[in-house]
């Protein structure tokens, strides 16, 4: 399942998508949980009883702001979360 | 030489007339402002509003129309000012005007009725980078306005009330429409009005602050636009940005129009 | 089953001030059947931001439902919704074998055995209502908008939810209905009663769209034309959300706005796909899915035993 967390508003589209099929048996030892400086990722048991990561509810409506410091303007050349997730389950839409 | 800057905002038109005079042979700038012409909500005939505001400003300054050598326009509706020779963006105009008033300013925060933005500028008042709320009422004055209406207070009372509160109630809703219901439920749960006012202004300030952080906070910070008149918002913004001082111009809503007139004057040289 | 004929509208005291945004509440049950004949009775309760639904499923088939308006975070929403249908059919809580809660207030269903997200429940409900060919589901609720892609079993394969912004939600439609002083059920039909189809209002934000709508009225637009411009904007907005997950044949719309042809027909026009028809009230999809999940869980338990 591709789970998209985020929103679209007047200023643009901001989604973090998680491919839960790649996430279930994480080969990166859940590195996303500690890689994100804002600790936005969290483990949940989803509706189909799989243990997967999701983006915390408190962040899904403010992604454009919350992720700003990891984006190129904040000095990063690669995103900590997508880099840490070696299975490639995490993607940013912007 | 006289130039004019017209800032065609979403709710009001601002006109600044700028005269360059020679004092002991050196050029000096002298500017006059005319009270903003307010448009009724939904007054879509912007051409007429601009024309009216311009005529009023000329009359107030005792300047005839043909003395004005150049008219530049800025603001969301700048294309509707038909008699303007050129249009400049709100970022360009805001940075120019703010640095003219405060030469040491490098970060300009512009919060008007429908727009909020952070601008990074150089020492010439040239905008280097900016981030805005574009096309979303959250993070602009109309968010606070809608909430003050829900509390049945004027914006002025609303701003003053928030200063009396020392609580920090977080608002969950990002959207103005959803926040209205949240404010209504706060009213129903007997939350004091001043605490609600502070919660709302803190929310706007934190959004504006997030935009400014995207361009980086450097040098002195100037706040321009109508929200300068709201002391509660200014306090919330200072707190959110974690700065000791935010410079507040006397006629904050005219700064962009002034910047516009300054650019018009520069192009004449 | 004929939902139109059997549907009984809950009588309600006339409000003092006319509230144009109010939509109709519904309670319905299948009069051709008797729930007492069923082996397994499950219930799904969807506690949304503006409405709550309770659905009774007998042996995996829809039996009855109640759909009502609720206040924000009301702890009684779930209870009231369920009571409404139970009273109608003479059922008691003890008669129900399994209760699944869903929706924004799913944690506020004290008597639920399990809580499942509305994403999974809407997909499951749509799979029942529109058949197993349904692949793309659009749910336009009161305070959010969801785009879901599912497989032939109604299992979610891709989804997104937008609950940050009122544009593209039922709340946005209510704001316009109030502004135009026109009952919400009339908006759709009226939006087609125009001389020429106007362009969509340019503002995404509901607050800005409101001032834009007032401007259009001043500029000489009729109310119907303004409504058409708003419906078009809403349609364009949700289509842009759908495009993120991809739209396939077997397109199904759930939630309150499915009842607004002004938006639905415009979505179909933009996508070039017709939505799958159903006779069942589009607002119960989430609760129905929840009840069906309950039925599957009961079957699994029976097998394990």
- Could you tell me if B242 and B165 lie in one domain? yes
- Segment B203-227, tens digit of pLDDT: 999 989 988 988 889 899 999 998 9
Cα B72 to Cα B12, B88, B167, C57, C252: the distances in Å are 16, 7, 45, 68, 52
Instruction: Tell me if B132 and A61 make a contact (CB, 8 A cut-off).
Output: no
Residue C1: pLDDT over 60 = no
How far apart are alpha carbons B249 and B228 in whole angstroms? 8
Q: Would B110 be classed as within a structural domain? A: no
- Does any domain span residue B108? no
Do B12 and B93 lie in one domain? The reply is yes
Has residue B232 been placed in a domain? yes
Q: What's the CATH number where B87 sits?
A: 3.30.420.40
Does B42 score more than 50 pLDDT?
Answer: no
Query: Domain range spanning residue B28?
Result: 2-101+252-268
Q: Is the pLDDT of residue C266 over 90?
A: yes
* B89 to B73, B79, B93, B142, B268: CA distances (angstroms): 9, 11, 6, 21, 19
List the structure tokens of C236. 């364009």
pLDDT band for B40, please (50, 70, 90 cuts). very low
CA distance to B247, B256, C25, per residue, from C105 (Å): 45, 46, 19
Q: Give CA–CA dist C147/A15, Å, rounded.
A: 13
For residue A6, pLDDT over 50 is answered with yes
**ipTM attached to this prediction:** 0.89
Q: Is the CB of A7 less than 8 angstroms away from the CB of C158?
A: no
Say what the pLDDT of residue B25 is. Answer: 65
Query: What distance in Å separates the CA atoms of residue C19 and residue B121, rounded to the nearest whole number?
Result: 50
Nearest CA of chain B to the CA of C185: how many Å? 21
Q: Do C160 and A10 touch (CB under 8 A)?
A: no
Match 């963006």 to its residue by tokens.
Answer: B89
Q: CB–CB of A11 and B210 under 8 A?
A: no
Asked if residue B132 and residue B62 are part of one domain, the reply reads no
Burial of B137 (0-12, 13-18, 19+ CB in 10 A): buried
| C111 close contact with B: CB closer than 8 A | no
pLDDT value of position C50: 80
For chain B, how many structural domains are there in total?
Answer: 2
Nearest CB among A11, A68, A73 relative to B136 is that of: A11
pLDDT at C37: 95
- Rounded to the nearest angstrom, the minimum Cα separation between A62 and chain C is 8
| pLDDT greater than 70 at residue C43 | yes
Which positions in chain C have a beta carbon within 8 angstroms of at least one beta carbon in chain A? 116-117, 119-120, 155-165, 167, 203-205, 240-241, 244-245
Given an 8 Å threshold on Cβ–Cβ distance, is B174 in contact with A61?
yes
Q: Which residue has the tokens 């007139």?
A: B261
Give one DSSP letter per residue of chain C, joined into a string.
--HHHH-EEPP-PPPSS--TT----EEEE-TTS-GGG-S-EEEEEEE-SSEEEEEEEETTEEEEEEEEE--TT-TTHHHHHHHHHHHHHT--GGG-SEEEEESTTGGG-TT-SEE--HHHHHHHHHHHHH-TT--EEEEE-SS-EEEEEE-TTS-EEEEEEE-S-STTSHHHHHHHHHHHT--HHHHHHHHT--SSPPPPPS--SHHHHHHHHHHHHHTT--HHHHHHHHHHHHHHHHHHHHHHH---SSEEEESGGGG-HHHHHHHHHHHT-PPPP-SS-GGGHHHHHHHHHHHHHHHHHHHH-
Residues of chain C with pLDDT > 90, as a percent, come to: 69
A10 contacts on C by Cβ (under 8 Å): 203-205
Chain C residues within an 8 Å CB radius of A3: 158-159
Domain positions in chain C: 3-131+281-304, 160-271
Q: Is A11 on the interface with C (CB under 8 A)?
A: no
The answer, yes or no, to whether residue C73 has pLDDT greater than 90, is no
pLDDT digits (tens, 9 = 90+) for C228-253: 999 999 999 999 999 999 998 999 99
Residues B20 and B96 reside in one and the same domain: yes
**Residues B210, A9: C-beta atoms closer than 8 Å:** no
Q: Are residues B147 and B240 in the same domain?
A: yes
Closest Cα in chain C, distance from residue B178 (Å): 7
The Cα of B136 is separated from the nearest Cα of chain A by a number of Å equal to 5
Asked if the Cβ–Cβ distance from A6 to C116 is below 8 Å, we say: no
Kind of pairing, strands C98-102 and C114-115? parallel
Q: So where are chain A's domains?
A: 2-92
Cβ contact, residue pair B42, C215, below 8 Å: yes
**Share of residues in chain A with pLDDT > 90 (%):** 68
C208:B137 CB<8 A:
yes
Q: Which of B136, B207, B213 sits opposite A68 (nearest CB)?
A: B213
Helix and strand numbers (H, E) in chain B are: 8, 10
B162 in the same domain as B261: no
Residues of C in contact with B137 (CB under 8 A): 205-208
Say whether B42 and C166 touch across the interface (CB within 8 A): no
Q: What pLDDT is recorded for position C76?
A: 83
What CATH number labels C160-271? 3.30.420.40
Q: Which residues of B touch C (CB under 8 A)?
A: 10, 41-44, 114, 135-137, 142-143, 146, 174-178, 181, 185
Which chain A residues touch B210 with a CB distance below 8 Å?
A: 62, 65, 68
By Cβ distance, the residue of C156, C203, C241 closest to A8 is C241
Which pLDDT score, from 0 to 100, does residue A73 have?
Answer: 67
Q: Which residue is closest to B171 within chain A, CA to CA?
A: A58
Mean pLDDT, chain B, rounded, equals: 88
Instruction: Give A-chain residues touching C205 at CB under 8 angstroms.
Output: 9-10
| C265 CA: distance to closest CA in chain B (Å) | 26
Q: What is the tens place of the pLDDT at every residue in C179-214?
A: 999 999 999 999 999 999 999 998 888 988 988 898
Query: Does C240 contact chain B (CB < 8 Å)?
Result: no
Classify residue B76: in a domain, yes or no. Answer: yes
Comparing alpha-carbon positions, the chain B residue that sits nearest to A63 is B210
**Is C208 part of the contact surface with chain B (CB cutoff 8 Å)?**
yes
**Where do we find the tokens 């929840």?**
C290
Residues A2, C162: C-beta atoms closer than 8 Å: no
Chains contacting chain B through 3 or more C-beta pairs under 8 A: A, C
Tell if the CB–CB gap between A10 and B135 is shorter than 8 Å. Answer: yes
Q: What is the pLDDT of residues B132-188, one digit of tens each?
A: 877 788 888 889 988 998 888 988 899 999 999 999 999 888 899 999 888 988 988
Tens digits of per-residue pLDDT, A58-83? 899 889 888 988 887 666 778 999 99
pLDDT of residue C157: 96
Q: Do A68 and B136 touch (CB under 8 A)?
A: no
Summarize pLDDT for C84-100 with one digit per residue, the tens. Answer: 999 999 999 999 999 99
- Give every strand in the sheet of A12-19, ordered side by side: A90-92, A12-19, A2-9, C156-162, C145-150, C136-140, C251-254
For residue A70, the chain B residue with the least C-alpha distance is: B214
Distance CA B4, CA B12 (A): 16
Tokens of A85: 């997730």
Using a CB–CB cutoff of 8 Å, tell me whether A58 touches chain C. no
Euclidean distance between CA atoms A71 and A94, whole angstroms = 9
Question: Are B89 and B144 within one domain?
Answer: no
* Residues contacting residue B61 through CB under 8 Å, at least 6 positions apart: B17, B32, B34
> Are C73 and B44 a contacting pair at CB < 8 A?
no
The architecture that CATH gives domain C3-131+281-304 is 2-Layer Sandwich (3.30)
Percent residues over pLDDT 90 in chain B: 50
Name chain B contacts of A70, Cβ cutoff 8 Å. none
The pLDDT value recorded for residue B38 is: 57
């Amino acid at each position: 399942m591709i789970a998209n967390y985020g929103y679209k508003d007047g200023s643009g589209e901001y989604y973090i998508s998680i491919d839960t099929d790649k996430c279930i048996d994480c080969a990166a030892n859940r590195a996303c949980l500690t890689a994100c400086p804002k600790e936005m990722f969290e483990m949940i048991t989803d509706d189909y009883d799989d243990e997967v990561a999701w983006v915390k509810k408190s962040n899904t409506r403010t992604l454009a702001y919350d992720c700003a410091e990891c984006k190129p303007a904040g000095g990063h050349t690669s995103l900590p979360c997508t880099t840490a997730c070696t299975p490639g389950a995490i993607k940013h839409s912007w | 030489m006289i130039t004019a800057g017209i800032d065609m905002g979403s709710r009001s038109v601002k006109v600044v007339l700028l005269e360059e005079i020679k004092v002991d042979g050196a050029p000096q700038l002298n500017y006059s402002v005319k009270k903003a012409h307010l448009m009724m909500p939904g007054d879509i005939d912007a051409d007429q509003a601009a024309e009216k505001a311009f005529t009023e400003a000329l009359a107030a300054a005792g300047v005839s129309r043909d003395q004005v050598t150049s008219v530049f326009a800025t603001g969301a509706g700048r294309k509707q000012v038909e008699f303007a020779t050129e249009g400049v963006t709100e970022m360009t105009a805001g940075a120019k005007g703010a640095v003219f008033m405060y030469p040491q300013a490098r970060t300009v925060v512009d919060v008007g009725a429908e727009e909020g933005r952070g601008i990074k500028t150089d020492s010439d008042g040239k905008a280097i980078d900016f981030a805005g709320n574009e096309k979303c009422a959250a993070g602009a004055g109309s968010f606070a306005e809608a909430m003050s209406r829900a509390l049945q207070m004027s914006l002025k009372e609303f701003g003053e009330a928030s200063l009396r509160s020392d609580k920090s109630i977080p608002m969950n809703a990002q959207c103005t429409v959803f926040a209205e219901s949240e404010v209504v439920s706060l009213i129903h749960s007997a939350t004091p009005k001043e605490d609600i006012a502070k919660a709302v202004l803190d929310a706007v300030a934190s959004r504006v602050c997030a935009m400014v952080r995207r361009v980086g906070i450097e040098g002195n910070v100037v706040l321009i636009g109508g929200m300068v008149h709201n002391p509660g918002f200014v306090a919330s913004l200072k707190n959110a940005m974690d700065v000791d001082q935010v410079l507040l111009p006397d006629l904050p809503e005219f700064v962009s129009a002034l910047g516009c007139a300054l650019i018009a004057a520069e192009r004449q040289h | 089953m004929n939902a139109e004929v059997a549907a009984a509208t809950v009588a309600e005291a006339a409000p003092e001030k006319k509230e144009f945004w109010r939509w109709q509440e519904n309670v319905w049950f299948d009069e051709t059947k008797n729930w007492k004949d069923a082996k397994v009775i499950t219930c799904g309760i969807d506690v949304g931001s503006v409405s709550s639904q309770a659905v009774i499923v007998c042996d995996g088939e829809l039996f009855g439902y109640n759909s009502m308006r609720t206040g924000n975070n009301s702890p009684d929403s779930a209870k009231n919704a369920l009571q409404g249908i139970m009273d109608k059919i003479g059922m008691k809580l003890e008669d129900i074998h399994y209760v699944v809660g869903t929706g924004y207030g799913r944690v506020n269903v004290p008597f639920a055995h399990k809580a499942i997200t509305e994403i999974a429940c809407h997909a499951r409900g749509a799979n029942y209502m529109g058949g197993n060919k349904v692949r793309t589901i659009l749910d336009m609720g009161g305070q959010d908008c969801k785009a879901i892609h599912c497989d032939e079993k109604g299992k979610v394969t891709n989804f997104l939810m937008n609950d940050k912004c009122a544009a593209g939600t039922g709340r946005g439609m209510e704001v316009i209905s109030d502004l135009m002083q026109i009952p919400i059920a009339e908006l759709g039909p009226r939006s087609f009663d125009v001389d020429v189809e106007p362009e969509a209002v340019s503002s995404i934000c509901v607050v800005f769209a409101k001032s834009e709508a007032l401007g259009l009225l001043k500029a000489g637009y009729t109310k119907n034309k303004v409504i058409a411009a708003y419906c078009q904007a809403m349609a364009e907005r949700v289509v842009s959300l759908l495009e993120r997950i991809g739209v396939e044949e077997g397109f199904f719309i759930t939630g309150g706005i499915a009842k607004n042809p002004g938006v639905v027909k415009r979505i179909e026009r933009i996508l070039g796909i017709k939505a799958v028809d159903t006779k069942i009230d589009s607002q119960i999809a989430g609760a129905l899915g929840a009840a069906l999940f309950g039925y599957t869980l009961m079957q699994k338990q029976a097998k394990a035993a």
